[in-house]
Every structure is written in structure tokens, then in C-alpha cells.
Amino acid sequence: MLFSDADAVGDAVAAMVVDRLAATAGGGKPFLLGCPGGRTASSTYRALARHAGDGVDLSRLVIVMMDEYVVPTDDGGLRRVDPGESFSCLGFAHREILEPIAAACRAAGTTPPSEVWIPDPADPAAYDERIAAAGGVDLFLLASGASDGHIAFNQPGTPRPTRTHVAPLGLATRRDNMETFPAFKQLELVPEHGVTVGVDTIASLSHEVVMIVSGEHKRHAFHRLASADAYESDWPATVAVECKNPTLVADSAAAGR
């Protein structure tokens, strides 16, 4: 699916989320929406808040974040970064996804969603178990690294069967993230590890995925994804083609049209 710009992409993807929510309304089961942090899906999140302002019921949404930065502890372990940090994915979920939706819901007199899930570096496998116990991610929004094809924090070379795990972050991924988060003014400020859903977590625990690609800087990523017909470990985002019900959504700048 090709659209004129990132805002049009966001409108289209948010409409898909609303459509899938309506289609699963019977029984009141939570609707698990897999979400990346950062810029890629921001226009989608803004559009969802507009739907909430129009009175659409988003109360069943559960925000399932893909990953989080982790830093060393004094005892040699790893912990998630403080959610108050501007680059925290958990903080992003509350500030950029839930809070605007909740404000719109309050204005419209509807019940806002409230749950955010995020993996724990102390027990990564528990994340897959939690998602599986809930019936899987209903719709997973995906993004590809511009320069190395990372998806979540899965680095080039990640084996296809990988589940949620703690991953060392390569230089290309860390440099990409400097563009995403203004707090990263120097490479040394970008954490060197993250806890992330795995390639197989996405493929086996999602009912539907939407790969979002927008901006001229994602042109190479678009062509890698559009030409893939199976998982390519040097560009992990290609796992999208092996997922159930995949859709590639791009704007003209990314597609080069």
C-alpha cells in the first residue's frame, strides 16, 4: 500500500487498527497492539488519538512494546532504563501513545486504554509466555532500521528462531537511534544493550503485521522489504514476509515515487 506522505500512512494504519478492533469487539477480549517506539509509527499514534476524540472505543487496547534500552546495575546485571528518560521506550509508550489517546477519550466521554507491556531483561522468556497466554498480538506494527534492517533490537545476523532476549546493539543501530532521540547527542550516550522481542516472537505470536516505511532515508529499506520473499538474516526486518497476514505500507518518499 502506497500513500503520499507519512501522515497519510498514519491515517491508513490507524484506520486498520480501528477496523480490527471493531471486528473483534465481541466478548470484550483485550486487543494486543504491538508497537515500536520512535518516529516510524508516530503518525499512526496521532491518528489513533484523533479516532479516540471522535468517540471510537479504544478501551480494549493493550500496548505491547517491542523493546527497551537496558543499562548495567551495580551487581553486574541489567535493568531497563528509567522511564523518565526521553529515550525510554516505556516512557515513549505513555507520553506518545497512551496519554494523547487518554486525553481524547476523556474529552469524548469514553474509557481510555491503560495497559503497556514491555519485556523484562531479568526474564525475557516471560514476555513470550505472557503474549502467548493472551492469545497473541492481534496486530503488530513494525519498523525497519534504515541502515542495517534491524527490527526492534534484533541485529543483522539474528537467527530466525530467536525469541525475546537481551541483545548487544551494533554501531549502525545505535547511530540510527541518534536520529530518533535528541538526547543522544553523542554515540557514547546510546546504551549498548536492549531487551527485545525476537524475530520468531513477531512471526509466531502475531495474527497480522503491518510494516511501516516512510521517508526518503528509508528508501533502501523499502526496496529490501519489497523484494524479499523469505527471512534474510542480514536484514532482520524481512521477517515481515514470513508473518501471518503481512502488509507493507509506505509513502512516496520511501518508495522513490
* pLDDT tens-digit series, residues 183-203: 888 898 888 999 999 999 999
Percent of the chain with pLDDT over 70: 100
Please name the amino acid found at residue 102.
Answer: A
Q: Compute the distance between CA of residue 248 and CA of residue 211 in angstroms, rounded to an integer.
A: 5
The predicted model scores a pTM of 0.94
232 torsion bin: left (phi>0), alpha (psi -120 to 50), beta (else): beta
Amino acid sitting at position 47 = A
Phi-psi region of 245 (alpha: psi -120 to 50; beta: other; left: phi over 0): left
CATH value at residue 11: 3.40.50.1360
The total of structural domains in the chain comes to 1
pLDDT in tens, 87-131: 899 999 999 999 999 999 999 999 999 999 999 999 999 999 999
User: Which residue range is the domain that position 177 belongs to?
Assistant: 2-255
Distance separating alpha carbons of residues 228 and 242, to the nearest angstrom: 10
